[in-house]
Structure 1
């Protein structure tokens, strides 16, 4: 139990730093984009890189929001019930979150299909010809790098969401206060 709570806290710290770096990178790319367009010398790869980094930012940020319990919620019902009922509602919500995270992990496993890739000796061409799965071969339009590097945010998100949801569920079940709050 302590391992999951500690892992969630460490992952949240890493995500916070990563979000700052991603936000700085996107901001710099947007400034570069404005400057190059103003002097009539557009760099088209900047748009694509900024969009892909914003998608990564969204997934990392969503994971951090789940860890901090800042995800979107409707509190109309939970505000009107007793603390005990609110606790059980939170346990239910965290159970659904954990179920979704585990399903997403399964979907990523099926999408990346690492066992089949290994079965074909990590030969990407043979893997594609037999599975019609191009996840490892798709290339970005203007940057010219494999989309895989951006797609990897999905298994990362599935993993971190699983850890954060499990930690939140454990905190609810065991009545452990959130980090940074008074017991």
Structure 2
């Protein structure tokens, strides 16, 4: 069985179509963040040249880079373009290769599932909703996620950290579509 790849003609229905639509949007969002980072860095150079540095530009560029990287990581999962050692996969043929590809897809899904559990516990949406206030929540749980401000921008970091549940959701969609595509290709070959 040939490994499914970007542009494979395997029809996997709703899951693949949803993944296609999401990755289309993610590419535009990631591109917008890259453009914003470029503009911020140019503004930083200009303001420093004029001896009026704007300190928060550096921090905003770093946060935008992190957010953009998570969108890029989700896209890479969909396209199967993450850095990988493919020596074993390239050496295998037929059923062995298929088992390896399915195993890798399952491991990615398990990793994203573990990340989802960690994020659920960290963001604790039920706990924050039940608390009287953010300060009361932080005092009771020692979870300062919702109160911790950025150093120079002055807004709460949670607004940038929200990319994590978004990444988790989109990466799970893409990994599931990849697994489904692999299994459908196996079924068609059988």
Match of 1:127 among 101, 126, 137: 137
Paired residue for 1:160?
170
Match of 2:154 among 144, 149, 169: 144
| Correspondence 1:20 to 2:31 | yes
Aligned-pair RMSD on alpha carbons? 1.2
TM-superposed CA distance for 1:94, in Å, is 0.5
Relative to the length of structure 2, the TM-score reads 0.88
Inter-partner Cα distance in structure 2 for 1:31 and 1:110: 39
Match of 1:118 among 113, 118, 129: 129
Inter-partner Cα distance in structure 2 for 1:39 and 1:119: 50
Paired residue for 2:53?
42
Inter-partner Cα distance in structure 2 for 1:90 and 1:155: 26
Greater RCO, CA 8 A, separation 6+: 2
Inter-partner Cα distance in structure 2 for 1:137 and 1:103: 25
Inter-partner Cα distance in structure 2 for 1:106 and 1:2: 28
| Correspondence 1:51 to 2:43 | no
Note the residue ranges of structure 1 that are not aligned, 5 or more in a row. Answer: 177-183
Paired residue for 2:8?
none
Relative to the length of structure 1, the TM-score reads 0.92
